Amino acid sequence: MPLDWRKSIAKNLRSNSSSRYQSYAGNTPEERPSKTNATLDGCAALLKDLSGDKLIHGHTHLPAHHHEKLHNQEWQRWVLSDWDFDHPEICLPKASALRIDADGVQYVDLVKHH
């Protein structure tokens, strides 16, 4: 198959995937399909086993700082974006990180979009 056909197919697949995941952004974690994000049950079980109340992970398609609650358990979750600098013809570059210092935790977008 010619390279330009393969690139076109990849572009369409990425676009469809990104649109589908972004459509879940306004939903509560319980309403999102489990394959789009770490589940509340999974996060709760992990943090209970480790006696923790903070979780940092990457990447899902919904990066942000979340305040989560399930039954009587509450925790904070920071989700980092994937880093994508390889496909500027398809999507804007993206990358996020956490800054952790004496002032606390700050979610940082490493790419400033105009």
Q: How many domains does the chain contain in total?
A: 1
Q: What is the pLDDT of residue 114?
A: 46
Going through the chain in order, the beta strands assigned E by DSSP cover: 54-58, 64-70, 73-80, 96-101, 104-109
Say if 35 falls within a structural domain: yes
Tokens of 53: 């109340």
Instruction: Tell me 8's DSSP state.
Output: H
Say if 59 falls within a structural domain: yes
Distances (CA, A) of 25 to 18, 38, 46, 53: 11, 14, 23, 23
Residue with tokens 């899902």, as numbered in its chain: 60
d(CA 109, CA 80): 9
pTM metric for this prediction: 0.58
Say if 73 falls within a structural domain: yes
Q: pLDDT 10s per residue in the chain (114 long)? A: 788 887 777 777 766 665 555 555 555 555 555 455 678 899 999 999 999 999 998 876 677 888 999 999 999 998 888 777 776 666 677 788 889 999 988 888 888 754
Say if 96 falls within a structural domain: yes
Say if 28 falls within a structural domain: yes
Q: What is the pLDDT of residue 27?
A: 57
Contact 91, 81 (CB under 8 A): no
Q: What is the pLDDT of residue 91?
A: 67
**Residues belonging to the chain:** 114
Say if 63 falls within a structural domain: yes
Say if 39 falls within a structural domain: yes
Q: What is the pLDDT of residue 102?
A: 95
Say if 114 falls within a structural domain: no
d(CA 24, CA 19): 9
Q: Which domain holds residue 17?
A: 3-109
